[in-house]
Amino acid sequence: MTSKQKISTRFASIVVLAVFVGLISYPQAVSRVPKLYETLNKLKINLGLDLQGGIHLEYKADISKIEAGKIDESIQGLQDAAERRVNAFGVAEPIIYTTKSGEKDRRLIVELAGVNDINEAKKMIGEMPFLEFKEEGPVDTATQIPQEMLDKLNAQNQEKAKEILVKALAGEDFAQLAKDNSQDPGSKDNGGDLDFKKKGQLITELDKAIFDSNLKDGGVYSDLVETQQGWAIIKKIEQRGEGDALEVHSALIFFAKQIQPQPKTNWVSTGLTGKNLQNAAVTFASQGLSEPQVSLKFDDEGSKLFAEITKRNMQKSVAIYLDGQIISAPKVQAEITNGEAVITGNFSTDEAKKLVKRLNEGALPVPINLVSQESVDASLGGVSLEKSMKAGFIGLGLVIIFMLVYYRFLGLIASLALLIYTGLMISIFKLSGLTPWQITLTLPGIAGFVLSIGMAVDANILIFERTKEEIRKGRNIMGALDEGFRRAWTSIRDGNISSIITAFILIELGTGFVKGFAVTLIIGVLLSMFTAVTVSKTLLQFILGEWIADKLWLVGVRKKDINK
C-alpha cells in the first residue's frame, strides 16, 4: 500500500468516525428514520445533581470505638449499607462514596440526583445496618378457616362427587361430565383424559383403581376414589401391552378437598442484636474437606442471651435479620452456652463469605452524624445546565473564529478536528451508560470538558506555528507540515502528560466534584491529543498539495517572509 493509499484509508476512517459520533451526539439529524432515531435518542448523558437537581448529604463517621485495624473494613461496610438502603428505594444512579482526612475524620457522602425531599433522603440512609436475632412467635391464626366450615364444604363436595358418579355409572357422557364438574385444571378441558400411563405413574389410590380392580375397557370404577387431595371418579378407556409394558388409557373427574391454609410464622425479637456479635467467619469442618459453615462469636451479654434463646427454642428455627430482611433461619440443635454458634447449610464458599460480610457489617456499626445537607432545586439545576451549555458553545465558537481568522485554512482544519473532538466527548458520555463505568456529568465536569477544548487548540497552535516556521525556511508545504508535527509532538506530549498526572492526583485526593472534573479532564486530554495530532494531520495530508504553493496566505505565511 502506497503512502497516498494509507492517507486515503485514514481519511475514510475519520469520515466514518465523524458521522458515527455526529449521529450519537445529535440524533435529530436522522429524525426521519424512526427506528434509528429512536435507538440513538435513548442514549442519554447521566447528569449530576448540580445539573438536574437533587440532594447532597454528608455524614461524619464516629470511629472512636473501632479498632485501628478494622476501620477501613467498617467504613466499607458503612458505604455498602448506605448503597443497599438507597437501592431499595429505587433511586437511579446514586453516587455514594467515603472520604478520608487524616486518621480520624471519615465521612460518607451521598448524592441523590432527582430526589427533592430531603427528609425522605435522610430516611433512606437512616442508621447503620441493623442485625438482630428473632424467634418463632405465636402462629398467625388470622388466615385460618374454622374447621366446622371446612368439614361442611368437604361434605358438600363429596355429595356432589357421588351424584356425578351415579350419572357416570348410568352411561352419561364422561368427557362432558368432566368438563362441567371436574376441579382438576390439568385434565378438565380435555374431558378428564389422563392418556396412557404405566403403573406407578399416578398416586397409589388411583393406581389401585385403574390397574388392580379388573376394570373392563370403557368401564367406570364403581366407588369414589378418595385421596389426600380429594375424590376421583375413574374411567378405564383402553389398555395396551402386557406385564411391565402394560399401559392404561384412563380419565377422571376430580373433586378437591378444602384444606387449612399453612399458618404464617411470626418472628419476634429476642433482644440479641448486632451490637452483641463480636465476629462472624467462614469455617470448615474436617480440615476444609467439608462444606463451608458460618461461625458466630458473641460478647458476654450476647452469650447469655443466646444461651437462653437456644434453650427455649430446641428444634425450632432462630431467624437472623439484617436491615429488616431475613438472611438465614437455622434450626437450633442444642443449647449453646459458650457464646459460639455455627450456621450450616448448602453454602458455596462465595455464599458463605458474602453472608459473613453482611453479618460483620451489622456487627461493626459505625455511628454517623449528619454534618451537612444541601438541596439543589431541579429548576436551578436546569438553569445551571443551560448556562453551562451556552458558555461551552460560545467558547467553542470563539475558538473556531480565532483559528479561522489567524490560521485561515489551517484553522479550518483545526476547527473540523475540534468538532470531531466535541462529538467524541459527547458520545463517550452517552455510551458510558451502556457500561458498568457510567460517567456522571457535573458542572466541574463541564469545566474540565471546556478546558480540554483549549488544550486541543493549544496543540494545533504549536503544530501550525512550527509548520509556518518551516515554510518560511523554504520547505514545501507537505515537508513543512511533517516537520511541524514532528517538532511540536514532544511539547504536546509532555504538556498533556503533566496534565494527566495532575488529574490523577486530584482523583486520588479530591472529593466528588473534584474527581468529576479530573475524570472529564483526563478523557478530554486523551481525545484532544488524538484529534489535534492524528485527525488534523490526516485531514491536512489528504487535502493539502502543490495547489497551495501559490496561495501560502491561506496558511498565514507571506511570500516576502520566505527565505529563498
Residue for grid cell 435507538: 39
Same domain flag for 500 and 530: yes
Sheet strands (E) in 125-229? 131-136, 193-198, 225-226
Residue for grid cell 363429596: 158
Same domain flag for 343 and 279: yes
Task: List the domain range (segments joined by +) for residue 322.
Answer: 267-361
For residue 335, which phi and psi values (nearest 5 degrees)? -70, 135
Identify the pLDDT of residue 124: 64
Identify the pLDDT of residue 64: 78
Q: What is the CATH number of the domain that holds 204?
A: 3.10.50
Q: What is the CATH number of the domain that holds 58?
A: 3.30.70.3400
27's CB contacts (< 8 A; 6+ apart) are 37, 40, 41, 43
Identify the pLDDT of residue 17: 92
> What secondary structure letter does DSSP report for 532?
I
Q: Determine, yes or no, domain membership for 466.
A: yes
Quickly count: other Cβ atoms within 10 Å of residue 151's Cβ.
11
Same domain flag for 83 and 218: no
312: its cell numbers? 427455649
Same domain flag for 397 and 517: yes
Mark which of 373, 407, 423 sits at the end of a domain.
373
Q: With helix as H, strand as E and coil as C, how does 395-413 read?
A: HHHHHHHHHHHHHHHHHHH
Identify the pLDDT of residue 58: 87
Identify the pLDDT of residue 115: 74
Nearest to 532 by CA among 376, 366, 417: 417
Q: With helix as H, strand as E and coil as C, how does 202-266 read?
A: CCHHHHHHHHCCCCCCCCECCCCEECCCEEEEEEEEEEECCHHHCEEEEEEEEEECCCCCCCECC
Q: What is the pLDDT along the chain (564 residues), one digit of tens a residue?
A: 677 888 889 899 999 999 999 999 889 888 888 888 888 888 888 777 677 777 888 888 888 767 777 788 778 877 777 776 676 555 656 778 888 876 678 888 888 877 777 777 776 665 445 667 888 877 665 566 777 888 888 889 899 989 999 999 998 999 999 999 998 888 888 889 989 998 888 888 888 888 888 888 889 999 999 988 899 999 999 998 888 888 999 999 999 988 877 667 788 888 787 767 777 888 876 655 567 888 888 888 888 988 999 889 888 888 887 667 777 788 888 888 888 877 766 667 887 887 777 666 555 446 778 888 877 665 555 676 777 778 778 888 888 898 888 888 888 888 898 889 889 988 998 888 787 777 777 778 787 777 777 777 888 888 888 888 888 887 887 888 888 888 888 888 888 899 899 988 888 776 666 777 888 888 888 888 888 888 888 888 888 766 776 777 777 666 665 665
Mark which of 194, 222, 256 sits at the end of a domain.
256
Q: Determine, yes or no, domain membership for 14.
A: yes
281's CB contacts (< 8 A; 6+ apart) are 294, 295, 297, 356
- pTM of structure: 0.52
Same domain flag for 122 and 161: no
CA distance 110 to 373: 10
Rg of the chain (C-alpha set): 39
Tally of domains in the chain: 4
Same domain flag for 239 and 271: no
Same domain flag for 413 and 475: yes
For residue 396, which phi and psi values (nearest 5 degrees)? -65, -40
Same domain flag for 388 and 325: no
Same domain flag for 392 and 513: yes
Same domain flag for 434 and 546: yes
Q: Determine, yes or no, domain membership for 135.
A: no
Q: Determine, yes or no, domain membership for 140.
A: no
Pairing, β 54-61 against β 105-113: antiparallel
Q: What is the CATH number of the domain that holds 531?
A: 1.20.1640.10
Same domain flag for 331 and 351: yes
60's CB contacts (< 8 A; 6+ apart) are 105, 106, 107, 368, 369, 371
> What secondary structure letter does DSSP report for 317?
B
Q: Determine, yes or no, domain membership for 137.
A: no
Identify the pLDDT of residue 128: 47
Q: Determine, yes or no, domain membership for 138.
A: no
Mark which of 373, 393, 410 sits at the end of a domain.
373
